[in-house]
Structure 1
Amino acid sequence: MSRTQPSSGLDPALAARLRRNDEGLFPAIAQQYDTGEVLMLGWMDDEALHRTLTTGRCTYWSRSRREYWAKGDTSGHVQHVKSVALDCDADTVLVKVDQTGAACHTGDRTCFDAGDITPGSGR
């Protein structure tokens, strides 16, 4: 089910390139700019991307709360944007950031440290 897109100040040429899911969202991967560490995956729409580009802080769309959130507003664990890149299919953005503190809501530095899955083991 698609949600109504808010009006956005996103550059129309960039907006025209983006491929979104049925809810008008696309994944945004946050990566530490200097180490390459993958920190988290969040969801954006045009307005969240516009806010990210204009404020220099990552802003995401919360699918559970149905609202925008700038990373670090409540935790203090801010993501300062260094660069943003669109992938080859125009359906995912890579946001290189300087992460302050933990990126994960669990308090961990990254959301991707819950244990490796060994290829071929089925686990």
Structure 2
Amino acid sequence: MIDGLAYAVIAVAAVGVVWAVISTARNRTTSWALLGWVALSELVTLVQSVIGFVRLAGGFRPAEYATTVGYLIGILVLLPLATVWALTDRSRWAPAVLAVAEAGVLAMTLRLLVLWTPGG
């Protein structure tokens, strides 16, 4: 894992959380701008996961291999599912779903930073 990229994922996700929470608090539905930000968040998360899988394929073994693989896969699922939900539910709570998903990406990236230590 590239630390700088992980911190970029965390920063983008944090902005997404704040933006979505503010949208929810203002009783707004999901804007296209917010969805664009979520897409950016998914893109940097995808880059992070691809790099992680390439490093794993190259022989790197983190301390908890299966957990790391699970996080690298699971982190990619959160935002697309939340986006589908936000597009189908046009209520004020749709941005809250995006906020929870962005918070999940943030937390999972922090955990990946901890997991990404060589085993043995």
Does the alignment reach a TM-score above 0.5? Answer: no
TM-score w.r.t. structure 1 length? 0.24
Q: Answer 1 or 2: which has greater helix percent.
A: 2
Q: Which has the higher contact order (CA 8 A, sep 6+)?
A: 2
Q: Answer 1 or 2: which has greater strand percent.
A: 1
